[in-house]
Chains A and B, each alone.
Chain A
Amino acid sequence: MDIHEYQAKERFALAGIPVPPGRIATTADEAEAIANEYGCAVMVKAQVHSGGRGKAGGVKYCNDASEAREHASNILGMDINGLTVEKVLVTPAEDIETEAYVGVLIDRKNQAATFMVSPDGGMDIEEVAASTPDRIRKLSVDPRYGLLPHQALWLANFLYDDPALIKQASKVVAQLYDSFVNSGASMTEINPLITTPDGEVKAIDAKMTIDGNELFRRPDVAGMRDLAAEPASETKAREAGLSYVKLDGNVGCCVNGAGLAMATMDLVKYYGGEPANFLDIGGSSNPDKVVSALEIITSDPNVKAILFNIFGGITRCDDVANGIVEATKRIDIEPPIVIRLTGTNEDLGLQILEEAGFSAYTSMDDVVEKAVELAKG
């Protein structure tokens, strides 16, 4: 789950990381009022779950409140990488002496939270990694001991020469690790971590992605979910325990398992069609999940055919068959449905479908080819 910059800064502040003050505005009037209160130059920053906000024109320096109003009015409603800006952060502009980068993410290879730091902040860290890899220092944190003080210092030493700055930065590094762990994050970054002419170290931008598996035990973090920042269909899918990503094609896909769902989408493309979505109904399915899945798929007006590809393991074919039958009773489904059903309790599932007048395929290629053909009309 992605959270906004202002929310990540709240998490940082809880851990003691120095962040500038800031408030959220949803209208140009509010942005002007907040800027007036600060009484200094401010930044107006789009709050969307996307990188590249600056390049898209979603981050602006404002000399005064009237400029804040003007920029906020331009940024609110702006489209950044397909996402509409619903709110802006208004925050006092800082005097910047240097910009560094500090990030933590889960590293698969070392099986641990891993720091990446660079004295070259303010730009995309992937660019730094590609062009000047020697300007990045990495450290995997042993989960048995956590981040040790000398390790925090080793990272901070790479950023600055001035002992006073190193001391502050090593504190920030340690606090960032605490924030990462206590937020249940899978990624967090400060870019840039600045120094001011007065010799202060501050986080003026913040990013954090939360591990969705942590939310059950972190209600405060779970409460940061911004429903306005994601498509309604994805919200509905999540609440129904499904994993759904809307795409642009016209073959609605309902599959159990993420790998098979991706392979099914690939096969739709292989046979000349375009998938309308990724949808994984997950394991241990019950008929209600299938009903929700069909409601979500049919709410997409582009869908011209619906393709089920179910390979029962923990999912039982009879549950899915019952769900399909139940859904067609409860909701009016216009596009044709083609079904492939095999695996655990296959015979039961096929019998249920047959009694309800559906026929099922057993080959994945056959069912996908048929769905593509039907979608073409």
Chain B
Amino acid sequence: MSIFIDNDTRLVVQGITGRDGSFHTGQMMEYGTQVVAGVTPGKGGQIFEGPNGETVPIFNAMDEAVAQTGANTSVVYVPPAFASDAILEAVDSGVSLVVAITEGVPVLDMARAHAFAGDRGVRILGPNCPGLLSPGKSKVGILPAQIVTEGPIGVVSRSGTLTYEAVFQLTSVGLGQTTCVGIGGDPLIGTNFIDCLEAFEADPETAAVVMIGEIGGTDEQEAAAYVQANMSKPVVGFIAGQTAPPGRQMGHAGAIISGSAGTAEEKMKAFQDNGIAVAQRPADIVGLIQDTLA
């Protein structure tokens, strides 16, 4: 098993003809993801050629793509100015999961998009996220495939490359993953830690979860309380930004310590208080996971 994506995932790529969209479509197909359609307005009727000569039809609009290919998941590589429109279009097209990779989407656009998706029961992952990967099954987004392997660990993270770091270290000692999910570093995201923890708890193949947070907001604290109250599976946590000064935004729009709230210290304490083993550095994650499985 896995969460959110698996062998039945039929993917449509929005922005398939762009630099990043085309590159990562090739990478996803190489991994074995069923990419069934692409959408780029004005390029309908063209064909995207996969790395091994496969052909993927390109459509002008999402509804056509879904109607003609039975796609159930979309991934968005559309530039920020058009990304929220692309997300809304995807939500209306009949897919059940929209993975928004695009960085730089206006926050107020996302407030509207999340409300719209909530009304229609569609899950948005992101925006400004690396997507997700269920090893051996499907990859949606930009996570590098060579660092994952199949196994019993669920990984959920607010960061992109820090997720890769943690997954890389797990894989290097033979600890494989059920699904690795990057939920994104923006203030308003569609899928949060708790959504992923709930899914991992329900997934029979996931034995333990790695949760990687960062400074800013209170999502990690709420997730910690959720773990204490609702999870039987062990969780190991890491928080980035112990050396970040208050009041300065650290890249991610969400990564800012305001007043006394949102510090790494506060979040690490919330983890400890709720039975989550806390790694001091990424390299400690592996040992803590091994302890929980021993």
Partner of B80, one of A216, A342, A343: A216
| Interface 1/0 per residue, B103-124 and A, CB below 8 Å | 1111110111011100000000
> Could you tell me the distance in whole angstroms from the C-beta of A136 to the nearest C-beta in chain B?
14
Query: What's the interface size class on B, roughly?
Result: 35 or more
Partner of B112, one of A144, A216, A268, A315: A144
Asked whether, in the complex, the Cβ of B250 is within 8 Å of the Cβ of A258, the reply is yes
Asked whether, in the complex, the Cβ of A258 is within 8 Å of the Cβ of B165, the reply is no
B212 at the interface (CB under 8 A from A): yes
Q: Given that A106-B187, A186-B107, A365-B283 are known contacts, is A313 also in contact with B164, CB under 8 Å in the complex? A: yes
Find residues 108-127 in chain A having any chain B CB closer than 8 Å to their own CB. Answer: 108-109, 111-113, 126
Residue from the set A213, A255, A258, A265 with the largest chain B CB neighbour count within 10 Å: A258
Asked whether, in the complex, the Cβ of A313 is within 8 Å of the Cβ of B165, the reply is no
| List of B residues within 8 angstroms of A12 by Cβ | none
Query: What's the interface size class on A, roughly?
Result: 35 or more
* CB-nearest residue of chain B to A181: B108
| Interface 1/0 per residue, B121-160 and A, CB below 8 Å | 0000000001000000000001110110000000001111
A262 at the interface (CB under 8 A from B): yes
A103 at the interface (CB under 8 A from B): no
| List of A residues within 8 angstroms of B101 by Cβ | 314
**CA gap between A263 and B282 in the complex, in Å:** 8
**CA gap between A237 and B160 in the complex, in Å:** 21
Residue from the set B114, B214, B251 with the largest chain A CB neighbour count within 10 Å: B251
Residue from the set A143, A181, A263, A283 with the largest chain B CB neighbour count within 10 Å: A263
> Could you tell me the distance in whole angstroms from the C-beta of A103 to the nearest C-beta in chain B?
12
| List of B residues within 8 angstroms of A284 by Cβ | 19-20
> Could you tell me the distance in whole angstroms from the C-beta of B288 to the nearest C-beta in chain A?
16
> Could you tell me the distance in whole angstroms from the C-beta of B31 to the nearest C-beta in chain A?
12
A260 at the interface (CB under 8 A from B): yes
Partner of B281, one of A126, A144, A267, A346: A267
| Interface 1/0 per residue, A313-338 and B, CB below 8 Å | 11100000000000000000000000
Asked whether, in the complex, the Cβ of A263 is within 8 Å of the Cβ of B165, the reply is yes
Asked whether, in the complex, the Cβ of A143 is within 8 Å of the Cβ of B115, the reply is yes
Asked whether, in the complex, the Cβ of B20 is within 8 Å of the Cβ of A265, the reply is no
| List of B residues within 8 angstroms of A211 by Cβ | 106-108, 253
Asked whether, in the complex, the Cβ of A111 is within 8 Å of the Cβ of B168, the reply is no
Chain B residues with CB under 8 Å of chain A are 19-20, 24, 27, 80-81, 101, 103-108, 110-112, 114-116, 130, 142-144, 146-147, 157-165, 168, 185, 187-188, 212, 214-215, 217-219, 222, 238, 240-245, 248-255, 259-260, 264, 280-283
A-B CB contact pairs (8 Å), 14 listed: A106-B111, A106-B188, A186-B187, A211-B108, A211-B253, A217-B106, A257-B162, A259-B157, A259-B240, A262-B214, A266-B243, A278-B244, A280-B251, A311-B161
Chain A residues with CB under 8 Å of chain B are 106, 108-109, 111-113, 126, 142-144, 181, 184, 186, 211-214, 216-217, 243, 245, 247, 255-263, 265-270, 275, 278, 280, 282-284, 311-315, 342-344, 346, 364-365
Q: Enumerate the 4 nearest inter-chain pairs by beta-carbon distance, A residue then B residue, closest first.
A: A259-B159, A258-B251, A257-B161, A259-B162
